[in-house]
Structure 1
C-alpha cells in the first residue's frame, strides 16, 4: 500500500504543495498523514498514527528527507526502524534517484552499507540546514533589537485616559475590576502600569 507523510514546520505554513504531489502519484487522501510542527523529534500525532498503520511491504513517500525530521541521529534511527524492523520501503521524492530504499534492499548487504552512507550524508545536511535557520533567526532578532524593534506584546501606553481611570480607582469611584475593564488590561498589566505611574509622578 502507498502511504504519504507530510510535515510543515508550523500551522502558518501550507502543506498543499506536498499533498498535491502525493495525490499525483496515486496515494489516496485517507492515507496521507500531515503534521504541522517542528521536526526536532518524532513525537508528532500524525507521524505516530501513520506508524500504527504501516505494514511490511508498504511504500512510504516523503517529499524531502527533512520532512521526516531535522535531527541527524533521529532520522537515521527512524529510517532504519521503518525499513529494517517494520519492512517498509521509503521513497524521498526530492532525491528519488538516490533515495528509494527498494534499490538498496535489492543489493543485499552492500545496499545496506550504501544506504547508511547516503543517509548519514543527507541527514547531516538536513540538520546543518536547521542549525543555519536558527542562527539566521537569532542574527535577525539581534539586528532588529539593536534598531529598537520590540518583540512580544505591544506596550500599553500611559494615556491620559488610563491616568484618569487610576485616579478614580484610587478615590474609590470605580472598582479595580471595572478600571481594568475600561483600560482593557489584565490584572498583572494594570498593577504594573500603576506602579510605573507612581514612578513617573
Structure 2
C-alpha cells in the first residue's frame, strides 16, 4: 500500500497566522491533507491533532510532515511520547526544520537516521520546553509588575452611578421596574445585576 502524506500546522492563538507553515507544507503534502489547529502547545488536547491520531487519520506506512518539532508540543515529555507513538504505529515523522528526518537511506540502515534524530530531538525538545517555561515566567512577571504599578488587569471594574442609592431603593420598594432603573442610570442589564450582587449583603 502506497504511503499517504499528511501535514500538521499549529499556532497558539486565533490572532496568529498559519499561512507560512501551510506554504512550506504544501511543497510536500496536498493542501487537502494538511490539518491545522489554533491552540496552545502546552498539551495535545487539540481537535485537529487528535483527528490525525484517530481511526480516520494516520495509519501504518503514512508520513506526517510538520514545520518544526514544537508544532507538536512544547513539552519535552509529550514530544517523546508522540515520537514513540509514531514509531510503534509505523508512521514516519518528517520535520522540515530538521533535515536529517528527510534523508533516505538504504533498506536496513534506518538505525543511522534514528540515532542522529534521537540526539537532535532530545536537544530541540529541551529547547522547546525551556522556551515555554520562559514565556510563562515572563507573563507572570508582567502581571506582577502591573499589579505593583496599580494597574487593573482583566475587565475594568463597573462603578456605581451617582444616583445608585435612590434608584436602587425605588426599585427594591417596587416604585420602579428594573428596566426603568437601568434606563435612569444608563446601565446595561449585566452591569446592573452585577452591581446589585456586589451591593447586597
Which range, TM-score by smaller chain? 0.7 to 0.9
Q: CA deviation at 1:115?
A: 2.5
Q: CA deviation at 1:107?
A: 3.3
Please give the alpha-carbon distance, in whole angstroms, between the structure 2 residues aligned to 1:28 and 1:54: 15
More helix as a share of residues: 1
1:120-167 superposed Cα distances (whole Å, 9 cap, x missing partner) = 111111111100000011111111111121112211112224444324
Match of 1:3 in 2: 6
Q: Secondary structure at the match of 1:121?
A: helix
Match of 1:60 in 2: 64
Q: Secondary structure at the match of 2:170?
A: helix
Q: CA deviation at 1:57?
A: 2.7
Please give the alpha-carbon distance, in whole angstroms, between the structure 2 residues aligned to 1:167 and 1:160: 13
Match of 2:194 in 1: 189
Aligned residues: 193
Q: How does 1:48-87 map to 2 (within 5 A)?
A: 48-52=50-54, 53-82=57-86, 84-87=87-90
Query: Gaps spanning 5+ residues in structure 2: where?
Result: none
Taking structure 1 as the reference length, the TM-score comes to 0.82
Which of 138, 153, 160 aligns to 1:158? It is 160
- RMSD in angstroms over aligned alpha carbons? 2.7
Match of 2:19 in 1: 16
Please give the alpha-carbon distance, in whole angstroms, between the structure 2 residues aligned to 1:104 and 1:169: 84
Query: Gaps spanning 5+ residues in structure 1: where?
Result: 197-201
Change (3 A) 1:103 1:64: farther
1:87-123 superposed Cα distances (whole Å, 9 cap, x missing partner) = 222221223x244375698633344333222221111
